[in-house]
Structure 1
Amino acid sequence: MGIRKSIKYFLPIILMAILLISCKESKGEADKTGSWSQINQTIERDEKWQKIVSGSPFKLGERYVKGSWYTGKDDEKEDYYGIEYGTYPSLDGSTVAVPMAMEFARQHLDLSDDDAKDFVFFNTTHQSYENLIYSRPNSGGMIRSTTTFLDENQPVDLIIATEPSQEELTLAKDNNVELLTEPVCYDAFVFITHKENPVDSLSVEEIQKIYSGEITNWKEVGGDNAKIISYQREENSGSQTAMKNLVMKGIPMLPPETTKVSIGMGALIDAVAEYKNSRNSIGYTYKYYIDTLYKNENIKILNIEGISPSPDNMRNSTYPFSTCYYGVIRKSDKDNTGGRFLQWMISEEGQKCIAQAGYITLK
């Protein structure tokens, strides 16, 4: 066997061994990749948590021995396992939806918090849309306590994500895939600045002018005489799509070379809060994200038109940038696992589970 063929043959085995060793040593800590790299808070059920679902039709399938590996003690071996998805959907999605998917795993599969952290592996918004459109698997999940890996060949059935970008819609069309999107809960798209910035509210027009380059100094909106440092996200991130569709509405944004582009929502929040001249910075994100998943005590949320992003203001759309998270499936799968689970998500029982995870429900 040649060197190149040997590497090709043994590399997957080596990578699997590394992952398995990591599983044993990390004691339940989720791998800090994908969406987990953008979360700095612990996600656990609170003291008032309740079991809502009983007799769930959504269950994992058969568990089987996938292989064995050396434990490092003499010649001792230990089995590791694979498990089929069965009637439970293969999920992917945006970072903001990770706690929702964890709650689903607790309710339907009776997973512990530690196992749910590893079971839910989301690739962030754009990658999850690509996985759904191309019918690709999301093979990052596992049940660590039993060294059980999810079926690596099962295509993604459903994603929980922010709205698709125009590029993602075009990608679906080019691949003859029609997406079915269903709102599952509310959130607010919010603008943040440093807590010491004297400005507490901006108008929609002022936001648009800041991000189109027409307003460049905080004194133009009632603040200090200081240059506005505006941060935006990379193309096709969920927040960048919302910024274009919900806020700018066709108004061209500052080009990347004249503004600061942050790769990752957590990085944007830290930049607004911590970097040099951060008091003069502005950025955007989702309220649930900074309330639950990535906290920083040095930022504050700006009101828009004097209106706060409260739950009631989201539901009745009084807050100007109220938005939703969506369950998204391939329309051809409407009657299959993904479609059935999506219908459960918007049912009364599904909405109770979503509420328990801390989201603003539809009803």
Structure 2
Amino acid sequence: TSVPQTSTKDFKTFAEVPNVPNGLFTYGGSTTFAPIRQVINPEIQKIFPQFQLRYFQNPSQPPGSGIGIKMLIDNQITFAESSRPLQESDYQQARQRGLNLIEIPVAIDGIVVAVNPNLNIQGLTINELKQIYTGKITNWSQLGGENIPIVAYSRTQEAGGTTEFFITNVLGGESFGEAVKFISTTTEALRAISNNPGGIYYASAPEVVEQCTIKPIAIGLNSGALIQPYKNPLIPPENCPQQRNQIDPVVFKNGEYPLTRRLFIIVKQNNQTEQQAGDAYTQLLLTSQGQDFMEKLGFIRIR
């Protein structure tokens, strides 16, 4: 399906962006956007106090890209944040409601794999990761580590664009193994890994790399080319939080690191205030100022 693109111009600062509407606008979706919500939105509010942004989470479902897109189609929110592109089923459901949705990429993100800091494993191939999450490899000793059972954590497929990306790009469309433990938030998963010597989890790079209680590991297409998502040297947990691991933007930007994807704002094309709000928010994130913030947060600028 050819998708109409909202034209996005190059502005340097938030203050230069025109047509930012007045009112209260709700948004929601991807957990990957959490750092953006916490850091960039308050800065936008300083410049445009009348452009009020309120995060909305569905009371009965865990947050995630798929849920956000569904809330947008159900008119519960003004625009959605998504770590996956729109799918044909999204377009169809929107059309049934008389809606036309578009996706606008605002940043690039990497998926990082984390383990317990004491685990003697520095990296995994995509295939080893697949075998762990499909249940074919069950002990770290099978990968040259200690004799510790592997406990693989994931968010549910329904909730997250991150999970869908992992199923497609790591599992090759196969199902998770029966032993995979499903949790609803990255915070819970990181806590579980820090308490579990055999734990492993994957999430958006800015949510993982700088954390003190886990260890990010290198990932590669083969064992001779494992790519670290962080800048050398790896900071040991006892030096954190005075020193934290830093994302290495170069390996995400040049495509060396195998697990990268784009992040989108999903906007309703209805020529009403909702579209104006979604377009304005997108435009704000795409300013030089917005992209500088993205970079500081550990995302990769898209322009």
Output the TM-score relative to the length of structure 1.
0.62
- Residue correspondence of structure 1 range 188-203 to structure 2 within 5 A: 188-203=110-125
Q: Name the amino acid aligned to 2:215.
A: K
- 1:109 pairs with 2:109: no
Q: CA deviation at 1:203?
A: 0.4
In the alignment, what sits opposite 2:167? 244
Q: CA deviation at 1:58?
A: 4.9
Structure 1 stretches of 4+ with a deviation exceeding 6 A read: none
Q: Name the amino acid aligned to 1:224.
A: E
CA distance in structure 2 between the partners assigned to 1:98 and 1:111 by the alignment: 21
In the alignment, what sits opposite 1:254? 177
CA distance in structure 2 between the partners assigned to 1:130 and 1:191 by the alignment: 28
Q: CA deviation at 1:174?
A: 2.8
Q: CA deviation at 1:210?
A: 1.1
CA distance in structure 1 between the partners assigned to 2:102 and 2:217 by the alignment: 33
Q: CA deviation at 1:229?
A: 1.4
Does the CA contact (< 8 Å) of 1:94 and 1:128 recur in 2? yes
Give the number of equivalent residue pairs: 256
In the alignment, what sits opposite 2:214? 299
Larger radius of gyration: 1
Q: CA deviation at 1:110?
A: 1.1
Q: Which of 263, 267, 273 is the matching residue for 1:329?
A: 267
> Taking structure 1 as reference, are residues 178 and 59 closer, same or farther at Cα in structure 2, changes over 3 Å only?
closer
> Taking structure 1 as reference, are residues 353 and 303 closer, same or farther at Cα in structure 2, changes over 3 Å only?
closer
Does the CA contact (< 8 Å) of 2:14 and 2:284 recur in 1? no
In the alignment, what sits opposite 1:96? 32
In the alignment, what sits opposite 1:206? 128
In the alignment, what sits opposite 2:80? 159
SS in structure 2 at match of 1:361: coil
CA distance in structure 2 between the partners assigned to 1:214 and 1:163 by the alignment: 27
- 1:174 pairs with 2:90: no
Q: Name the amino acid aligned to 2:251.
A: N
* Identity rate, percent: 21
**What whole-Å deviation, never above 9, does each CA across 1:196-255 have from its counterpart, x for those lacking one?**
000110001101111112212212211112221111211222231221123222233214
**What whole-Å deviation, never above 9, does each CA across 1:143-175 have from its counterpart, x for those lacking one?**
xxxxxxxxxxxxx1x222211586xx5254134
Q: Name the amino acid aligned to 2:217.
A: L
In the alignment, what sits opposite 1:132? 72
- 1:345 pairs with 2:285: yes
In the alignment, what sits opposite 1:141? none
In the alignment, what sits opposite 1:266? 187
> Taking structure 1 as reference, are residues 60 and 331 closer, same or farther at Cα in structure 2, changes over 3 Å only?
closer
Q: Which of 199, 204, 209 is the matching residue for 1:281?
A: 199
CA distance in structure 2 between the partners assigned to 1:346 and 1:216 by the alignment: 43
SS in structure 1 at match of 2:81: strand
Q: Name the amino acid aligned to 1:339.
A: D
- 1:315 pairs with 2:233: no
CA distance in structure 1 between the partners assigned to 2:197 and 2:128 by the alignment: 18
Does the CA contact (< 8 Å) of 2:112 and 2:208 recur in 1? no
SS in structure 1 at match of 2:110: strand
> Taking structure 1 as reference, are residues 184 and 204 closer, same or farther at Cα in structure 2, changes over 3 Å only?
same
SS in structure 1 at match of 2:15: coil
CA distance in structure 1 between the partners assigned to 2:201 and 2:131 by the alignment: 14
SS in structure 2 at match of 1:245: helix
In the alignment, what sits opposite 2:300? 360
Does the CA contact (< 8 Å) of 2:112 and 2:209 recur in 1? no
- 1:57 pairs with 2:38: no
> Taking structure 1 as reference, are residues 122 and 98 closer, same or farther at Cα in structure 2, changes over 3 Å only?
farther
CA distance in structure 2 between the partners assigned to 1:97 and 1:104 by the alignment: 10
CA distance in structure 2 between the partners assigned to 1:233 and 1:271 by the alignment: 13
CA distance in structure 2 between the partners assigned to 1:288 and 1:334 by the alignment: 34
Q: CA deviation at 1:331?
A: 4.4
Q: Name the amino acid aligned to 1:307.
A: I
Q: Which of 277, 290, 298 is the matching residue for 2:208?
A: 290
Q: Which of 119, 143, 150 is the matching residue for 1:228?
A: 150
Bigger fraction of residues in helix: 1
Does the CA contact (< 8 Å) of 1:98 and 1:120 recur in 2? no
Worse overlay, 241-250 or 172-181: 172-181
Q: Name the amino acid aligned to 2:71.
A: N
CA distance in structure 2 between the partners assigned to 1:186 and 1:334 by the alignment: 29
Unaligned runs of at least 5 residues, structure 2: 1-11, 58-62, 221-225, 230-247
Q: CA deviation at 1:267?
A: 1.1
